Amino acid sequence: MLTLEIVVVGSVFLGAALLFFYLTRVVFVAHSVQFDTWAFGQLDAVRAAWPSLTPVVRALTFFASLPWLVAAGLGIPLLLGWRKHRHEAWEVFWAVAGSSLLNQVLKT
């Protein structure tokens, strides 16, 4: 079961990394202003069509904030450890710690 988990997580990671590097090439190497213009146009159209989505999106972005990531990174593993799921507690801790670190590095 752990092997399947490693294969699935590794595949998702590899796919996300390939997509990231492709988009990086499109935006920075090809200097594609067309992509940015198209993406911002799509978002502006959604924002104009549904202005009530703004508070929902702001609430969702809270889950990428440092206070939430610290609370989740400590609270969820403690709860899992208390319920005797030590392996899962370490997985969650390292996943949240890594994502928090990457999130802060990319924001600066």
CA distance 89 to 73: 9
pLDDT of residue 89: 94
**Domain boundaries defined on the chain:** 1-49, 56-108
* Dist CA 95 CA 107 (whole Å): 18
Return all residues near 99 (Cβ < 8 A) that are at least 6 apart.
69
Please determine, for residue 25, whether its predicted confidence score (pLDDT) is greater than 90. Answer: no
pLDDT at 26 over 90: no
The rounded percent of the chain whose pLDDT value lies above 70 is 99
C-alpha angle 57-59-60 in degrees, rounded to nearest 5:
65
pTM of the predicted model as reported, rounded to 2 decimal places:
0.52
Average pLDDT of 36-56? 91
Assess whether pLDDT exceeds 80 at residue 1. Answer: no
d(CA 78, CA 55): 31
